[in-house]
Amino acid sequence: MEVYKKSSFCDGKIRMVQGAILALALTVFLGNLMMWVIMPTFTYYQKWVPVLVASTNSTFFDIQGPIMMNFTLPILFIAVLGCFYVHLEKKKSDIVTSSSCCNKDWLKILKKPKIIKPLGIVTWIELFFLAMFIILCVWYFSAFVYFHYSTITTYAATKGVEVWQARIDRLALVIGLTGNICLTFLFYPVSRGSSILPLLGLTSEGSIKYHIWLGHMAMTLFTIHGLLFILFWTVSGRLHEMLTWDPHYISNVPGELGLLVGLILWATTFPAIRRRMFELFFYTHYLYILFMAFFLLHTGMFYACIMLPGFFLFLIDRYLRFLQSKRKVRLISARVLACETVELNFSKISGLEYSPTSVMFLNVPTISKLQWHPFTVTSNSNLESDTISVVIKCEGSWTKKLYDVISLPSPVDRLDVSVEGPYGPASTHFLRHDTLVLISGGSGITPFISIIRELIYMSSTLKCKTPKILLVSVFRNTSQLSMLDLLLPLTGTPSGCSSDVDLHIEAYITRENEPAPEKTEPLRTIWFKPDHSDAPITPILGQNNWLWLAAIISSSFALYLLFVGLLYQYYVYPMDHGTNKVFPYHKRALFNMLFIAAAIGIAASAAFLWNKKRSARETKQIQDMADSGKSINSLLAYADQELESLPQQSLHKSIKTHYGQRPDLKRILQEVKGSSVGVLASGPKTLRHDVAAICSSGLVKNLQFESISFTW
């Protein structure tokens, strides 16, 4: 057995600690889930709540204390545990052994893909958890209906309405409470830097579909919730209640405003609008800020505590992304391809490490000050320690404008660019397969560039046995074949990689029946002159970013509790118990929003500034070296040698091009040899669905499918 960087004994210790963290996180989550299940029952309100209030209620927290203990604290504790888990996962990924190739995926049967029309490509695991979530919502709905309808006669008499009218009122409330369950999970999939998703082996890009499902479910329930209340007010002659803002209970006006904002946001998320008018979708999605503000003013903190942890983690992630995006990064060069594609190369510090298939978000203020677009990172942090690259193909108005700016005969000397990320999986498991089949369509090849470069590094530098690679790429015309030239990096390519990696490329040109006349148009490299203030891309929280994130979550929540406690101790409690006045619910919600923002701002800013100061020395060294021209001269030397290098010549020999046809995917996958074959598909929806259907058909038993998509 070959061992690199760490011993297998150390790996075993890390696995033991990770297992203990997972067990503790699972225990806490199951306990929290039990509270969700018990909440809509008589047992919760008659037995559990009095015990909680008696044990945790005080002048310092009032009734908000036990609610926080119930729902918010456990999830944030799991998030902190997740930070430690992912930190250890990164350490474990440094250990590469030849036995890694034989690791078995015991969940491969449950990971078999299924194509369900409304949902797209899903696995049995996803269907299982979706079913469990729907069961939880149904239980929540039915238990609350039983709870409220059991005393409906008394409630109707108190309200001064008919029993059937009171049923509409209570049904509307219950549907709104069920919508809160969807809102509880809505923000986890879009928290790109959160530890919850890596703890579950997920990425934010792969989890966007969960956000979409939850968003549709939540807005459907909230819309029915609002319409039923309007119906109740109409039939009971109480339409004037639509304009009430009760300071001591649920406020109707902010609820109606929140629903209106939510409907506007929801309308632009449907594919017909989102894909044709992306900017409209993008800008209206910022209305979530107003939606959440009105939601908190509508319900108060009592009903909002169940969804607070997910929103709290999202705000931490969003603020850290904001801090990172304020810095202009150092754009070194661009490689322009004939197929309206450009590769951007940025400077980075050597401590910034990332996994293959990671994603980086780019903003170019000269094109749009608000738009951020995700692109796959194609470079490898081991082969290219000083640079990070993304490939951008013209497929929309924003990318077209960027390409036009860069590909001008006299291109600009400098381009203002801000970035967020990179974000990606905590670790990859490509070595567990004997063979990798990478199937791409058009620009879908970009995630596979990073995978191939990672395997080149493992094979040539670590001397680790790597799987055979079959790359099946589908292009429209011959000019797009130039994207295959990006498989090898601009710098750092080992000279012997052609013999170390078993790579075969099948390229299919669908709209041309024969090779086009050869063009002498090589890759065009453009060198920029960054400003001295442009900084290399650095980890937002340093190399130990997950440990810093755990500190931010813990300290910000502690600060928030301190602020809330002081408010209740010295202002709310004296007013509620010493005078005839009651502190208004909407003011409590406003103060809570202010305290959450202040606590996160203080904790995250302190961590960011501390790490920025620590990385300032390396940043200055890179800037000084770049300003002196040393790094550019070295890159130019590599660029001059690139097209004549042995790796590039070997790469072109491994390409077999087919004209005027599409690949017979079923035949290709049936002919692949190996006890474990990893099949990754990236590109158009139809291509991914075709590959998933073959892998799930059962014709070949050794296929393990994974879809890579950012088009949702």
Q: Other C-beta atoms within 10 Å of 509: how many?
A: 24
pLDDT in tens, 651-699: 666 788 888 888 888 888 888 887 788 888 888 888 888 888 888 887 7
- Name the residue ranges covered by the structural domains of the chain: 1-95, 109-326, 327-538+664-708
Q: Do β-strands 373-376 and 331-337 pair in parallel, antiparallel, or remain unpaired?
A: unpaired
- If you ran DSSP here, which 8-state letter would residue 188 be given? S
Q: Other C-beta atoms within 10 Å of 641: how many?
A: 12
Q: In the predicted model, is pLDDT for residue 102 greater than 50?
A: no
> Which SS3 state, helix, strand or coil, does residue 699 take?
coil
Q: In the predicted model, is pLDDT for residue 607 greater than 90?
A: yes
Task: Please name which of 703, 619, 627, 628 lies closest in space to residue 668, comparing C-alpha atoms.
Answer: 703
What integer pLDDT is reported at residue 637 of this predicted model? 45
Q: In the predicted model, is pLDDT for residue 101 greater than 60?
A: no
Identify which has the larger pLDDT, 596 or 6. 596
pLDDT classification of 490: cutoffs 50, 70, 90 = low
| Whole-angstrom distance, CA of residue 96 vs CA of residue 93 | 7
Q: What is the third-level CATH fold of 327-538+664-708?
A: Rossmann fold (3.40.50)
Q: How far apart are the first and last CA of the chain?
A: 42
What integer pLDDT is reported at residue 578 of this predicted model? 64
| Whole-angstrom distance, CA of residue 453 vs CA of residue 489 | 8
CA 408 distance to own-chain centroid: 34
CA 466 to each of CA 91, 103, 382, 460, 469: distance values in angstroms, whole numbers, following the listed order: 21, 13, 16, 10, 9
Q: How many CA atoms lie within 13 A of 427 on its CB side?
A: 18
Beta carbons of 242 and 259 less than 8 angstroms apart: no
> Which SS3 state, helix, strand or coil, does residue 589 take?
helix
| Whole-angstrom distance, CA of residue 424 vs CA of residue 198 | 9
> Which SS3 state, helix, strand or coil, does residue 437 take?
strand
Q: In the predicted model, is pLDDT for residue 17 greater than 50?
A: yes
- If you ran DSSP here, which 8-state letter would residue 710 be given? S
pLDDT classification of 49: cutoffs 50, 70, 90 = low
> Which SS3 state, helix, strand or coil, does residue 674 take?
coil
The pTM score is: 0.88
Q: Among 161-175, 267-281, 313-327, 510-524, where is mean pLDDT lowest?
A: 510-524
What integer pLDDT is reported at residue 125 of this predicted model? 82
Cα-Cα-Cα-Cα dihedral sign, residues 253, 256, 262, 265? negative
pLDDT classification of 639: cutoffs 50, 70, 90 = very low
Cα-Cα-Cα-Cα dihedral sign, residues 559, 563, 568, 569? positive
Q: Which two tokens stand for residue 304?
A: 């909002």
pLDDT classification of 57: cutoffs 50, 70, 90 = low
pLDDT classification of 99: cutoffs 50, 70, 90 = very low
What integer pLDDT is reported at residue 396 of this predicted model? 78
- Give the alpha-carbon dihedral of 310, 312, 313, 314, to 10 degrees: 80
Beta carbons of 450 and 113 less than 8 angstroms apart: no
**Residue 370 CB contacts under 8 Å (≥ 6 apart), including other chains:** 282, 283, 363
Q: What is the DSSP string of 324-390?
A: HHTSPB-EEEEEEETTTEEEEEEEB-TT----TT-EEEEE-TTT-SS--EEEEB-S-TTT-SSEEEE
> Amino acid identity of 255?
G
- If you ran DSSP here, which 8-state letter would residue 569 be given? I
**Residue 51 CB contacts under 8 Å (≥ 6 apart), including other chains:** none
| Whole-angstrom distance, CA of residue 178 vs CA of residue 141 | 6
Identify which has the larger pLDDT, 133 or 407. 133
Beta carbons of 246 and 252 less than 8 angstroms apart: yes
pLDDT in tens, 206-228: 888 899 999 999 999 999 999 99
Task: Give the residue carrying structure tokens 């919502």.
Answer: 137
| Whole-angstrom distance, CA of residue 419 vs CA of residue 327 | 8
Beta carbons of 519 and 587 less than 8 angstroms apart: no
Q: What is the DSSP string of 97-141?
A: EGGGGG---TTTTTT-EEEETTTEEEEHHHHHHHHHHHHHHHHHH
Angle at 704 between CA 701 and CA 706, to 5 degrees: 150
Task: Please name which of 170, 148, 150, 367 lies closest in space to residue 279, comparing C-alpha atoms.
Answer: 367
Q: What is the DSSP string of 608-668?
A: HHHHHHHHHHHHHHHHHHHHHTHHHHHHHHHHHHHTTSHHHHHHHHTEEEEES----HHHH
Task: Give the residue carrying structure tokens 């008589």.
Answer: 42
Q: Do β-strands 359-363 and 373-376 pair in parallel, antiparallel, or remain unpaired?
A: antiparallel
| Whole-angstrom distance, CA of residue 424 vs CA of residue 197 | 10
| Whole-angstrom distance, CA of residue 155 vs CA of residue 161 | 9
Beta carbons of 413 and 529 less than 8 angstroms apart: yes
What integer pLDDT is reported at residue 368 of this predicted model? 85
Region 420-433: mean pLDDT is 79
Task: Please name which of 136, 229, 222, 133 lies closest in space to residue 179, comparing C-alpha atoms.
Answer: 222
> Which SS3 state, helix, strand or coil, does residue 162 take?
coil
Residue 356's φ and ψ, nearest 5 degrees, are: -55, 150
Helix (H) or strand (E) holding 600: helix 585-628
| Whole-angstrom distance, CA of residue 489 vs CA of residue 39 | 56
- Report for 84-98, 429-443, 514-528: range of highest mean pLDDT: 429-443
- Give the alpha-carbon dihedral of 81, 88, 705, 651, to 10 degrees: 150
> Amino acid identity of 384?
E
Q: In the predicted model, is pLDDT for residue 632 greater than 80?
A: no
Task: Please name which of 173, 174, 182, 121 lies closest in space to residue 144, comparing C-alpha atoms.
Answer: 174
